Amino acid sequence: MAERIFVSRRIPEAGLGMLREAGVEIVIGQQDTERGVDRATLLAGIRQCDVLISLLTERIDAEALYAGPRLRGVANMAVGFNNIDVATATTLGIPVSNTPGVLTETTADLTWALLLALARRVPESERYLRAGRYRIWGPDLFLGTDVGPGASGTSRTLGIIGYGRIGRAVARRAHGFDMRVLAYDVVRADIDASDTVTWAELDTLIAASDFITLHVPLTTATRHLIDERTLRLMKPSAILITTARGELVHEHALVTALREHWIAGAALDVYEDEPALAPGLADCPNAVLVPHIGSASTDTRDRMARLAAHNALAHLRGERAPNPVNPEVYDLPSFRSPSGAP
Ligand code: DGY
């Protein structure tokens, strides 16, 4: 039987080309990139494949994993892998991989784009202009907040929650704005002497920051990290930015905070019940909302596709993948090897 990789939804040609060159059979569950793959097609695809390439939009839960009797790897084309039941995959001896590193800079860029857009009210003022409402310049037209020190010369404080690859890339960009940077992570990172970053406890960071940006993975411990309690800790002038995962923020509490001006604004790339928005969020003028485009540059998406293909081919050959998220699986007796025998 020919070895088959099932790609849940069409990925960039950069990755598909690699799979073709390797001579494997590729089946794509959904060719239209603006549509999801339906569950029945996903399960049928997994049932008949050796390796699955999934996107963050697919729920690869126990049902999906058990559906694949010969499944010996899941390569997620994303750095986040909260869509996959990794514990069950490990029990079944199935390695799971992700695509870290290649999207770091692109996501940090979007974080800054959102921060600046919200602070200087760019989308709101653009909508006003396009609606034909710009009649005359005025001294109070779309007053925003300074990101750099502004005329006062006072540096603003950026709070980074999650000081991993992306958090650090965001911090590097803050230097150009002469910001004071506070960082928090569950694992305290080494900050070397050249870093202009100060370590802070979570609540201290939240209460002291002018801008707060989230870069932690979604886990049971980080779900609703930003909720009514933490929103009320923020300064009324503060801005929240998230390009990580929607469920980090209690979106209903955020809508209340935006409506009642507990905080000045929020810029979101990700949503709790994506692609749906919490009721009222889209009506908040102090919110900037974009559709999960953190890693959306042509080059980065090509690199993600290539890395997912590398991981998938390694899974297929029974080799250690470049980016396994459950590396312990390789030492388990249940590890699914290409020969089919655990
Ligand atoms: C990821 O990779 O996890 C992002 O959310 C999409 O690129």
Q: Burial of 194 by CB count in 10 Å (0-12 exposed, 13-18 middle, 19+ buried)?
A: exposed
Nearest CA to ligand 1 atom 7: 295
- pLDDT value at 68 more than 70: yes
Most confident of 78-82, 149-153, 184-188: 78-82
What's the pLDDT at 188?
A: 78
Element (H, E) at 209: none
For residue 317, what pLDDT is reported? 97
In 3-state terms the chain splits into helix, strand, coil percentages (rounded to 5) of 35, 15, 50
Residue 187: pLDDT band (50, 70, 90) is: confident
Q: Given 3.40.50.720, 3.40.50.300, 3.40.640.10, 3.40.50.620, which CATH number is that of 4-102+297-331?
A: 3.40.50.720
**Long-range contacts, 15-19 (Cβ 8 Å, 24+):** 15/53, 15/77, 15/302, 15/304, 15/305, 15/306, 15/308, 15/309, 16/305, 16/309, 18/306, 18/309, 18/310, 18/313, 19/309, 19/312, 19/313
For domain 104-289, the CATH architecture is 3-Layer(aba) Sandwich (3.40)
pLDDT range class, residue 337, cuts 50, 70, 90: confident
pLDDT band at 57 (very low <50, low <70, confident <90, very high): very high
Distances (CA, A) of 317 to 34, 35, 157, 336: 31, 31, 49, 11
Q: Is the confidence at residue 94, as pLDDT, over 70?
A: yes
Q: Closest Cα to atom 3, ligand 1: which residue?
A: 80
Give the pLDDT score at 218: 96
The reply to whether 4-102+297-331 and 104-289 are identical in fold is yes
The domains of the chain are located at 4-102+297-331, 104-289
Q: Taking residues 219-228, what's their average pLDDT?
A: 97
Asked whether 214 lines ligand 1 (CB < 6 A), one says no
217 lines ligand 1 (CB under 6 A): no
CB 110 within 8 A of CB 243: yes
pLDDT confidence of residue 166: 97
CA of 297 to the centre of ligand 1 (A): 12
Q: Sign of torsion, CA 239 245 248 250?
A: positive
Q: Is residue 84 lining ligand 1, measured as CB closer than 6 Å?
A: no
Answer yes or no: is pLDDT of 341 > 60. Answer: no
| pLDDT above 90: percentage of residues in the chain | 94
